[in-house]
Amino acid sequence: MTHIARSSLIIAIFFGIDKVLALLRQIIIARTFGLSPELDAFNAANNLPDMLYAMISGGALAIALIPVLSEYLERDGRKAVWDLFSRIVNLSFLMTAVLAVVIALFAGPLVRWELGIAPGFVEQQQALVTNLMRLNLIATLIFSLSGMVMAGLQTNQHFLLPALAPALYNLGQIFGAGVLAPDTPLSFGPVTLPAFGMGIHGLLYGVMLGAVLHLGIQIPGLLRFKFHWSPKINLRHPGVVKILALMGPRLFTMLFIQLIFIARDNLASRLEQGAVTALTYGWFIMQVPETLIGTAIATAMLPSISEYITRGEADKFRETINRAVKTILALTIPATVLLAVGIRPLVQIAFNFSQEETELVVWATRAFLLGLAGHSVFEIAARAFYAQQNAVIPVLTSGYRFVVYLILALLLFRPLGAAGIGIADSVAITTEAGILFYLLNRRYPGIVRIGWTLPRVLIGTLGGGLAVYLLIQFVSLPILPLTMGSLVLGMGVVLPFAWPEVKSLVRL
């Protein structure tokens, strides 16, 4: 296996652990809060803190940081890398702290504003959103450091601890959901957990604990690579200037992406109770395969394709992107259909919702699943541009994506409810990914050569989806083993059709 393939596998394994823990977290939360107004408020309160993190340390700076740090590592060595890294970490923390204070001061108006977070909520719910948002900003400050550490370790081709960090974050949230929040103790067989009765605030305290664990698990990686912190910034430093130049467009890219989440909850707050949370669950379910496939491969690829560009190895760059795209399509298209067919019994078993609540989550999930392949290949396309230290094209296409999303969501959310908002997201991301690859192909002709991959995988997917549907509809077995067995059988039907792309993964 190549370095990228091994790194992708490591990342996917630990992302898988993270997603199992995240699923457990969501199950505990669902069984504690249901699709309640309090949980809607909690999910809506995450938007601005998440936006702040994503626009700085978790997104704009982190993605801009890796290509430049990779260049410094290749040219000047690790000491120069850590000097530049320290300057960026200091700057990131100060920027996050200042903006967090501003958001905390104006949290109430931002929640109630007609174009804000949750104008459709009742006054009591809006007050709860405001309170939770202010507390959540504490976790955001911790993440401002943790996100930078993750980027620094990935630059040094170390993926183990950054991949493990999200699992620790979920453990903190599980503690909050299972111990701090419940009024009555939760029991798992012979084990009964204590219950502190903090309600929805206990869930938020778990987020804070998870943020501390997310940072703490990565500290040994910094020690291994002899990180030395310097209390400097110097906005005229050449590396800082280059990173900020890349960050500028990336910041607007992340702004447009986060505005989609804000618009999503703004519109959902005007629908029936539980719509905000149903969209959160639907997004989470779609993100499981997207993270294990698209994010894992793209994260492992970025340092390597950045080095290919630095060394002028265009053929390696082109071939790596092509193989990644074909592999992702061969895995995500079947996953979309199989999950869409088998999702209803899984939601019923996991969350124990009423029939009406189950349908709300199922259709929101199916709507997001339509964009699974688009989200996954977008991860590759965006990083292909950042590897070239070109952040302008992604910001332009992200603006296009936001406009398309907003128009479609406004048209669809009333007649189709939460599912209409999910469909808008899927259409917008898929078209954005297509535009990015069109532009990449103009500069690197042949960078995406799908050939017979798509028709072959579609034939296998049709057979696998049909097998899952027939088994669930006409076989009488307990629902959990039936559903899981049918999904395994469906993947077995698809695998021979996708095997060439699966094998190519080891040569990335």
Q: pLDDT tens digits, residue range 90-105?
A: 888 898 899 999 999 9
Position 63 pLDDT exceeds 90? no
CA-closest candidate to residue 246, choices 71, 493, 35: 71
Residue 376's CB is within 10 A of a number of other CB atoms, namely 31
Query: Is 319 domain-assigned?
Result: yes
Q: What pTM did the predictor assign?
A: 0.80
- Interacting residues of 282 by C-beta distance below 8 A, sequence separation 6+: 361, 364, 365, 366, 367, 368, 418, 422
Is the CB of residue 326 less than 8 Å from the CB of residue 333? Answer: no
Residue 48's CB is within 10 A of a number of other CB atoms, namely 28
pLDDT at res. 507: 65
Residue 458 in tokens:
């579609």
Q: Assess whether 444 and 323 both reside in one domain.
A: yes
d(CA 504, CA 68): 29
Q: What is the pLDDT of residues 458-501, one digit of tens each?
A: 999 999 999 999 998 888 888 888 888 999 999 999 999 999 88
Burial class of 133 by CB neighbour count within 10 A (0 to 12, 13 to 18, 19+): buried
Average pLDDT, the chain: 88
Q: Assess whether 179 and 328 both reside in one domain.
A: no
Which domain, by its residues, includes 368?
271-508
Q: pLDDT-derived band of residue 57, with 50, 70 and 90 as boundaries?
A: low
Output the CA angle 30-33-38, nearest 5 degrees.
Answer: 125
Question: Can you state the angle between helices 3-33 and 314-351, rounded to 10 degrees?
Answer: 20
pLDDT at res. 62: 65
Residue with the two structure tokens 């899927």: 426
Query: Is 114 domain-assigned?
Result: yes
Residue 166 in tokens:
């999200």
Q: Assess whether 200 and 329 both reside in one domain.
A: no
Query: Is 505 domain-assigned?
Result: yes
Higher per-residue pLDDT: 466 or 88: 466
d(CA 144, CA 500): 41
Residue 192's CB is within 10 A of a number of other CB atoms, namely 10
Helix H, strand E, coil C: the string for 5-27 is HHHHHHHHHHHHHHHHHHHHHHH
Q: Assess whether 326 and 361 both reside in one domain.
A: yes
Query: Is 38 domain-assigned?
Result: no
Q: Assess whether 204 and 182 both reside in one domain.
A: yes
Query: Is 24 domain-assigned?
Result: no
Q: Assess whether 139 and 181 both reside in one domain.
A: yes
Position 232 pLDDT exceeds 70? yes
Q: How far is CA 84 from the centre of its chain?
A: 27
Position 506 pLDDT exceeds 70? no
Q: Assess whether 233 and 308 both reside in one domain.
A: no
Q: Assess whether 244 and 165 both reside in one domain.
A: yes
Query: Is 124 domain-assigned?
Result: yes
Report helix, strand or coil for 280. helix
Of the listed ranges 3-7, 59-63, 178-182, 299-303, the least confidently predicted one is: 59-63
Q: How far is CA 50 from the centre of its chain?
A: 11
Domain boundary, last residue among 216, 240, 260: 260
Query: Is 495 domain-assigned?
Result: yes
Position 241 pLDDT exceeds 90? no
Q: Assess whether 230 and 285 both reside in one domain.
A: no
Report helix, strand or coil for 372. helix
Query: Is 21 domain-assigned?
Result: no
Of the listed ranges 247-256, 293-302, 429-438, the least confidently predicted one is: 247-256
d(CA 43, CA 6): 35
pLDDT at res. 59: 61
Of the listed ranges 155-159, 435-439, 460-464, the least confidently predicted one is: 155-159
Q: Assess whether 348 and 386 both reside in one domain.
A: yes
User: Once rounded to an integer, what is the mean pLDDT over residues 414-434?
Assistant: 96
Domain boundary, last residue among 233, 260, 287: 260
- Interacting residues of 415 by C-beta distance below 8 A, sequence separation 6+: none
Specify the number of domains making up the chain.
Answer: 2
Q: pLDDT-derived band of residue 68, with 50, 70 and 90 as boundaries?
A: confident
Out of 321-325, 346-350, 403-407, 475-479, give the one with best mean pLDDT. 403-407
Q: Assess whether 399 and 439 both reside in one domain.
A: yes
pLDDT at res. 193: 81
pLDDT at res. 257: 84
Higher per-residue pLDDT: 409 or 162: 409
CA-closest candidate to residue 175, choices 161, 196, 158: 196
Domain boundary, last residue among 260, 293, 322: 260
pLDDT at res. 61: 66
Of the listed ranges 203-217, 228-242, 402-416, 451-465, the least confidently predicted one is: 228-242
Residue 215 in tokens:
């940072």
Q: Assess whether 135 and 76 both reside in one domain.
A: yes
